[in-house]
Amino acid sequence: MANLFGGQNEGFYGDEGPIAACATALAESALTLVRVSGRGCVDLLAGCFSRPETLRKAAGNSVVYGWLVDGGNRIDEVLISVYRAPKSYTGEDSMDISCHGGLAAGRAVLQTLYKHGFRPALRGEFSFRAFLNGKIDLTRAEAVLEMVSAKSDTGRGRAVARLSGVLEQEIRHISKLFFDSLTEIELLLDYSELDGVTADDEAMPGREAVEEALSRLRRLERSYHAEKLYRDGALAVIAGKPNAGKSSLFNLLLREERSIISEIPGTTRDWIEGWISIEGIPVRLADTAGLRDPGDVLERLGIERSFSLLDEADLVILVLDGASGGDEVIAGAEDFIKEWKDSPILPVWNKADLAPPPHGADHFCAANFCAANFCAISTKTGDGLNQLYERIARILEKTAGVAAPDLSCAALGSDRQKTLIDAAISYAENALAMHDEGLPADLIAPSLREAVNCLGEITGEVSTYDILESMFSRFCVGK
């Protein structure tokens, strides 16, 4: 099947043939990086390079200058970084071609490579080969994907920790604890008859090791909620009556003029959104239409969409118009909170430069656990903004049931890992429960083996082709 750039064979995961793909976006830029890897890739690339013998003889971790050519035609002036197996990302002979940026240059280089025997790389195929060749385990492979999609510096830092092997080492340590217990069980079963001891007479061998493993597994399970928050982020919806300052707050938080600001009520007819980072938490911030009786059909549709988005929100930032009068504003806010009592709500008293909040206003929403989170700001002067950032972060952490992650500790980075950790916990708990019920060790051992298999799936020691293909197909092509 032909692809956009002229490649004919799509290949399959596990193929060792020469592959090529852009490792950077095809866009206007100073440079484009094209990555190649696989059996015979050096000789193939030498066949379309102006200095073929120099490239063939190049040592690993060296750079060769020249021209990419197609017969007598020069394609682009390039630098080729050479990596020799096994000291490369994939564990194979690999090269990175630095060519000029832009759509035309990158496409021309790829078309030339495909013409001379390379095939287009599949999604994540470079990382797939790195896994097959023992350069990375699955936790590190998933960390590569996390790095690419990280929405905040904290998310990037967590991915770096997993990429450096912190999670892999913890998983292997827990597996060893299970293996230690299994070894003792096997010794008991093998020698009990010779010694005149039965498995029924013996306390569960290695129970302390299983209990320690279970404790470590539970800590990993708890880490997932924090990791998910810092990885995927949360939805914070700005709501309130018209002219309360919702769009002004949206622009202030986003630090750019995205929403139209007007004294005319109903200016925002639909919701708009943008991403921000608050204390390392990626926040998808949405500005919605003012909540009131609609003046026309379009405004009614906008308000309906606002209510729909409020249902999905991890946090509702309720903007109160401080200049409209304290008692009336407080009453309206209380009505809103009663209607959305299942959602975390952060009341924000806006226009505090014109009218400070009335005494005791910070306690009116105690029923929604936001009393300590009420804050006053001025979108005009920026006063109170830092306090607002802090309140948003604390509510999102509380809602997720987490505190800020410890970058020095192993933590789960994907739904797949969480599912397998949950299964391992279940098997370990089952093994301990069977021992408490007085069941013999030979009935307990299978549960421990299943726990070990679950951990092996996390690192990739136990895996199937379908699982691997499903995981790596989520990567971008050049990874």
| Cβ-contact 174, 213 below 8 angstroms | yes
**Res. 302 pLDDT band, cuts 50 70 90:** low
Buried residues in 234-269 as b, exposed as e (16+ CB within 10 A): bbbbbbbbbbbbbbbbbbbbbeeeebeeeeeebbbb
Tell whether 80 is covered by a domain.
Answer: yes
CATH code, 122: 3.30.1360.120
pLDDT at 191 over 80: no
Tell whether 27 is covered by a domain.
Answer: yes
Gyration radius of the chain over CA positions: 29
Give the range of the structural domain holding residue 332, as residue numbers without chain letter: 233-382
Q: How far apart are CA 235 and CA 283, in angstroms?
A: 6
Residue 226 burial class via C-beta count within 10 angstroms: exposed 0-12, middle 13-18, buried 19 and up: buried
pLDDT at 297: 46
- pLDDT tens, 327-339? 666 666 666 666 6
Q: Which residue has the higher pLDDT, 77 or 394?
A: 77
pLDDT at 304: 59
- pLDDT tens, 347-399? 888 988 888 876 655 555 444 444 456 788 998 899 999 999 999 998 898 88
pLDDT at 109 over 60: yes
pTM: 0.79
- pLDDT tens, 13-52? 888 999 999 999 888 889 999 999 999 999 999 999 999 9
Q: How far apart are CA 396 and CA 399, in angstroms?
A: 5
Q: Which of 333, 364, 382 is the last residue of a domain?
A: 382
Tell whether 41 is covered by a domain.
Answer: yes
Residue 49 is given by DSSP the state: B
pLDDT at 6 over 80: no
Tell whether 185 is covered by a domain.
Answer: no
Q: Among residues of the chain, what percentage have pLDDT more than 90?
A: 46
Q: Which of 72, 98, 132 is the last residue of a domain?
A: 132
Q: Which amino acid is at 361?
A: A
Q: Which amino acid is at 159?
A: A
Same domain, 243 and 125: no
Q: Which of 359, 382, 405 is the last residue of a domain?
A: 382
The total domain count for the chain is 2
Buried residues in 397-408 as b, exposed as e (16+ CB within 10 A): bebbebeebeee
Tell whether 169 is covered by a domain.
Answer: no
Which residue bears the tokens 């097959």? 132
Same domain, 253 and 373: yes
Tell whether 423 is covered by a domain.
Answer: no
| Helices 138-149 and 166-195: angle between axes, nearest 10 degrees | 160
The Cα-based distances of 358 to 242, 347, 361, 385, 388 in angstroms read 21, 14, 6, 19, 18
pLDDT at 339: 67
pLDDT at 247 over 80: yes
pLDDT at 45: 97
Q: Among residues of the chain, what percentage have pLDDT more than 70?
A: 79
Backbone φ and ψ for 79, nearest 5 degrees, come out as: -115, 130
